[in-house]
A and B are shown apart, each in its own frame.
Chain A
């Protein structure tokens, strides 16, 4: 496992860390929610927490936010021992989120801004500005309950960023959003990161993390399985599959296994996935493939985060995939998140 420390040592820019966690443990009754967790999030990072539900993502985030407290271990947030001391510098969008149903949207956002230490005039100014930004300007005087779920999500996002926090923590930020709003949310997150804010977001949808974050933190069963920058991830987890699309579909049945370095050929209707063995030469293999039949496409397949996750946790890959899929439905017991 390669962590940030190595990257920083090997020429990465030396930054102050937004979050430092050492040997963190938390259990709920007999269940170990987080075990011996180490994590360092440098300032300005866009960090993705991924893992299936019940993995310990929300528990870790809650401990960072000082909403629950670890049984043991050290934790520092923005240089302080507890988030309580730096709450006004943090923006947090929890997994279990809602709005005051009877409160007007404007009043709710102003209230949240006031709670985060802004004065009344500034709270009002930013509230109006943000509602225009996300296309909800006409909802200022509407009751929160009149908004659709997607609109409420945006309002909650505003509540998290209204204080222009140094650290922004977004738990399951994409759940419940339609594709259009997902894109908007991705843009907003990037924009916040470009403004120099450290961002941590958790998701069980690994493709979202793949598209967005510059570092990945993977957790399962309360144990860290991966923690590294994306660039390093792609170089560490070499692509091990070459996808071939023959021009003639009948060619799918050719003896692709005989090509040098191929461990296994998995056929689907249109494609053949050539799983490579150790020490396979990709260039030679690709030449061999084009020589074997007329092909529309020969491509070195990038492993998905999901593939990496499965590889890392090992075991029965189908059951792990199922575990990931099941995460689509949020769990009820928050404290076990």
Chain B
């Protein structure tokens, strides 16, 4: 066992302590973590406050007071808060959070980086200057050119950041357009080139609202009442299941199982690939027999599988902890069923052992990486099939198809990871049975791989085909 461990340590270090691994495997999660940590910090730096005024030439005489009201300090603040709330709600809805957790989120809102994200909306200190209706537009717009966009509080809002020109026919018209509706003319919005996009949008929205309200009032209607009546209704969506109603959340349904399977896939495949190349290297550099003078083929194979398995485990641990950290950081940890993480590692063991046995067999049988390609077909199938099954299984984790796939050797770890992390609970007995199927597969493949490895490592010359490999397995 000591020798197996020595081989395993060497194999682990030979892969991990290389520039390629550090840059290819460790760097991306490091960058991701840095982004998760740094992004809110960067975002907390508030956008600079915008100081200045909006000038209005209101030829209708009805809109200006409403706009002036809309840009009062209280209204600006209220709008900003509402926007933050909306962003948060959309966020929670997008990932399919239930009400209880959404409430929890709201509690944490101030501390959450989500709130920080909203600080991108700049503070504004805008005054509204109503110019006489007969002011020439050409005169009024000259003032805009004087604005630098870097005005300070002490400037007293003298900088003209925007000029609104609202003609009479924006509100009242007798002409009809081709659809038979009143053919209102557009208003003019002239802005300083450096004006913040958010502020521009705010001006646009509030002007439009003020114009529509003015039209309604002009027509003798109550704008507040009409707005209330035309409020867009919200849907309260629920998925009906035997276990009770649950809010339907498409994104969560796909994202978390997808992430689980991706983790499983990337870790087993990378580790398997490392195992294949290192075995081929030992053969092609003819160091194999030198090593076999000190250890038995079985010890060598076991050591290699364990060593590269540790590499896979490192990748899996690293990426999944980055994922979990991110979820905790963004307060989505409740979406994660912790026992699924345990299952992830159980199925990693099974999936990796399957791939590793195949890779060790192939690596031992061929002379170089090119010869390996022709034998890689079956391995690629195992890795590609789960990718193809992803959508059908996620849509319906308890379909007959998904259930059958859970017991098909070699692909079942991937299928089970998709199913257990999906939104629908699966029959409890299927998990241990699938694990048993997996373990039986592993036992058989280990037996076969040991035989192929023992013969293959010393075979040079013509690369064997699949039939030869099967013959080796049958040999005593």
Enumerate chain A interface residues (CB-CB to B < 8 A): 62, 65-68, 84, 87-88, 90-103, 111-112, 114-117, 156, 159-160, 332-335
Contacts and interface: CB of A to CB of B under 8 A. Distances in A.
A91 B289 CA distance: 12
B255 to A, nearest CB: 39
Contacts of B285: 98-101
A116 B282 CA distance: 18
B286 A96 contact: yes
A301 B7 CA distance: 54
A334 B459 contact: yes
B428 interface: no
A117 B282 CA distance: 21
A62 B290 contact: no
Interface residues of B, number: 25
B295 interface: yes
Contacts of B286: 96-98
B290 A156 contact: yes
A62, A68, A100, A103: residue with the most chain B Cβ atoms closer than 10 Å: A100
Contacts of B294: 87-88, 112, 115-116
A272 B289 CA distance: 48
Nearest to B462: A333
Contacts of A112: 290-291, 294
B295 A96 contact: no
Nearest to A67: B292
Contacts of B461: 332-333
B389 interface: no
B295 A94 contact: no
B287 A87 contact: no
Contact of B6 (A93, A99, A102, A114): A114
Interface of B: 2-3, 6-7, 10, 14, 281-282, 285-297, 458-461
Contacts, number: 83
Contacts of A97: 286-287, 289-290
Contact of A115 (B7, B14, B289, B460): B7
A62 B458 contact: yes
Contacts of A117: 2
Contact of A100 (B7, B287, B289, B460): B287
A92 B293 contact: yes
A102 B20 CA distance: 13
24 contacts: A87-B296, A90-B293, A91-B293, A94-B290, A96-B288, A96-B289, A96-B460, A97-B286, A98-B287, A98-B288, A98-B290, A99-B285, A99-B290, A100-B282, A100-B287, A101-B281, A102-B14, A115-B7, A115-B291, A156-B290, A160-B290, A333-B460, A334-B460, A335-B460
B458 A335 contact: yes
Contacts of A87: 293-296
A217 B296 CA distance: 27
B293 A99 contact: no
Contacts of A160: 290, 293
Contacts of B10: 111
A117 B3 CA distance: 8
A84 B293 CA distance: 9
Nearest to A101: B285
Nearest to B299: A115
